[in-house]
Amino acid sequence: MNEDPQNAGMARERMGPGPEDVPRAQMRRRLGAEDYVRGILAGDRAVLARAITLVESNAPGHTDLAQEVVTRLLPHAGDSIRVGITGVPGVGKSTFIEAFGMHLCDMGRRVAVLAVDPSSTLTGGSILGDKTRMDRLSRHPNAFIRPSPSAGNLGGVTRKSRETIVLCEAFGCDTILVETVGVGQSETAVRAMVDFFLVLLLAGAGDELQGMKKGIIELADGLAINKADGQNKVAAETAKIEYSRALRYLGPPTSGWRVEVLTCSSIEGAGIPEIWDMVRRFRETMLRTGAYVERRQKQRTSWMVEMIEQHLYDSFYQNAAVQEALPAVRKAVLEGRLTTSAGARDLLRRFYETSLLEDLIAGL
């Protein structure tokens, strides 16, 4: 991001010597909470990247440090506009986000892109190629792109995406773009952490996608028919009319706002400014009605419930008795010697009998 030389010098003085002055081994020293907080507030990209890695880590000892960093940065977060972007595979999400992000950056906005790649259900691996697909945006000084694996989470977001948003906002990003996997999984996870939910669509995608689309469209604050260029322009305009008609039969997901349908071309840049104008008008409307603040408040309580559920999940599968019995119980269920409900009750009984309150508290 753009940085005034004088301010950069002052930030470097606060943070200590810059990268050119410090050997690589010393630069990778273990950072404390104060280092992370100071570095992020000073606009240090390397520290931000390491902080995101910290909050995404499941390693013992990282959780407490990560939560301390996030908690201390909360007063400096919350001022951005958060936009969730989803769409079926092939709709051109990455190309659209690059065009959209470039438009915002050129306007002087500071953009963070949380691009989530689907993890393999077999190996758990992920390509994480969004920086390659968004080459121009990744080199823009006003942009920060962070690809992360979905790790099987519904909605195509990592379970630490909320914390990552806080870090990026404290870093100074005023626009957060959250890209989902968009493979028909529940998108409610994304909807619960953004302000505006944008669904990208294609003209003439076929009736076989309608069932998948409907559940997502019901959550949308705006629809955009992408790839409206060349010979596809007429089809895109026709699709716009059809979706506009269909929306009359669906209740708006956000009270006080009428869902709009636009067309755009990520390659030509047509329609991109209009989409940002739609997002801006949405925010102004929601601030005026009070719905914006209400949505943020609901998101905070949702975040709390999510963390409770995650802690209970982790505690269950980290329990020694459960780990010991799980292979045999799973085998019995697979072979039909034990019902799924009986297997679940058996594992839960072992968990409750062997879990100590002190152990559960220690994990918090």
Tell me the whole-structure pTM to 2 decimals.
0.80
Quick: pLDDT tens for 92-148.
998 999 999 999 999 999 999 998 665 433 334 444 445 567 889 999 999 999 987
Q: Are residues 176 and 259 located together in one domain of the fold?
A: yes
Q: Are residues 56 and 167 located together in one domain of the fold?
A: no
| Element holding 86 (H helix, E strand) | strand 81-87
256: region left, alpha or beta (phi > 0 left; psi from -120 to 50 alpha): left
- Final residue belonging to a domain, choices 244, 273, 290: 290
Q: Are residues 136 and 283 located together in one domain of the fold?
A: yes
Mean pLDDT of 329-354: 94
Mean pLDDT of 315-322: 91
C-alpha dist (Å) from residue 289 to 17, 221, 317: 48, 16, 44
Quickly state the pLDDT bin for 21 (edges 50, 70, 90).
very low
Token pair of 183 as six digits: 């493979």
Instruction: Determine what percent of the chain is predicted with pLDDT higher than 90.
Output: 50
Does 182 have pLDDT greater than 60? no
Q: Are residues 171 and 141 located together in one domain of the fold?
A: yes
Q: Is 359 helix (H, G, I), strand (E, B) or coil?
A: helix
Q: Which of 176-180, 199-203, 311-315 has the lowest mean pLDDT?
A: 311-315
- How many folded domains does the chain comprise? 3
**Greater model confidence, 243 or 100:** 100
Mean pLDDT of 152-177: 79
C-alpha dist (Å) from residue 209 to 187, 203, 212, 215, 245: 16, 11, 5, 11, 18
Dihedral sign, CA of 209, 242, 221, 171? Answer: positive
- Final residue belonging to a domain, choices 74, 98, 132: 74
8 A C-beta contact, residue 262 and residue 274: yes
- 72 by Cβ neighbours in 10 Å (0-12 / 13-18 / 19+) ranks as middle
Q: Are residues 258 and 313 located together in one domain of the fold?
A: no
Does 267 have pLDDT greater than 60? yes
Q: Are residues 109 and 60 located together in one domain of the fold?
A: no
* CA 262-97-105 angle, 5° bins: 105
Q: Are residues 258 and 303 located together in one domain of the fold?
A: no
Residues 324, 319, 305, 53, Cα dihedral to 10°: -100
CATH of the domain at 178: 3.40.50.300
Token pair of 310 as six digits: 């995650």
What domain range includes position 56? 5-74
CATH of the domain at 356: 1.10.287.130
Q: Are residues 168 and 108 located together in one domain of the fold?
A: yes
- Phi, psi for residue 254 in degrees, rounded to 5: -120, 120
Instruction: Determine what percent of the chain is predicted with pLDDT higher than 70.
Output: 77
Cα(201)–Cα(215) distance, integer angstroms:
13
**Greater model confidence, 359 or 224:** 224
Does 197 have pLDDT greater than 60? yes
Quick: pLDDT tens for 32-80.
999 999 999 999 999 999 999 999 887 777 888 998 999 999 999 988 9
**String of DSSP letters for 97-143:** HHHHHHHHHHTT--EEEEEEEPPPTTT------HHHHTHHHHT-TTE
8 A C-beta contact, residue 213 and residue 201: yes
Q: Are residues 129 and 275 located together in one domain of the fold?
A: yes
- Which stretch, 51-55, 173-177, 202-206, 238-242, has highest mean pLDDT? 173-177
Question: Cβ contacts of residue 338 below 8 Å, gap of 6+?
Answer: 329, 332, 346
pLDDT score at 308: 87
pLDDT score at 156: 39
| Element holding 349 (H helix, E strand) | helix 340-354
Q: Are residues 326 and 353 located together in one domain of the fold?
A: yes
- Phi, psi for residue 66 in degrees, rounded to 5: -60, -45
- Average predicted confidence (pLDDT) for the chain: 81
Question: Which residue matches tokens 């980290």?
Answer: 318
Mean pLDDT of 142-171: 76
- Final residue belonging to a domain, choices 290, 310, 336: 290
- Phi, psi for residue 18 in degrees, rounded to 5: -80, 175
Q: Are residues 87 and 12 located together in one domain of the fold?
A: no
Does 364 have pLDDT greater than 80? no
Does 229 have pLDDT greater than 60? yes
Does 252 have pLDDT greater than 70? yes
Nearest in space to 73 (alpha carbons), one of 104, 106, 103, 35: 35
Amino acid at 353: E
pLDDT score at 219: 84
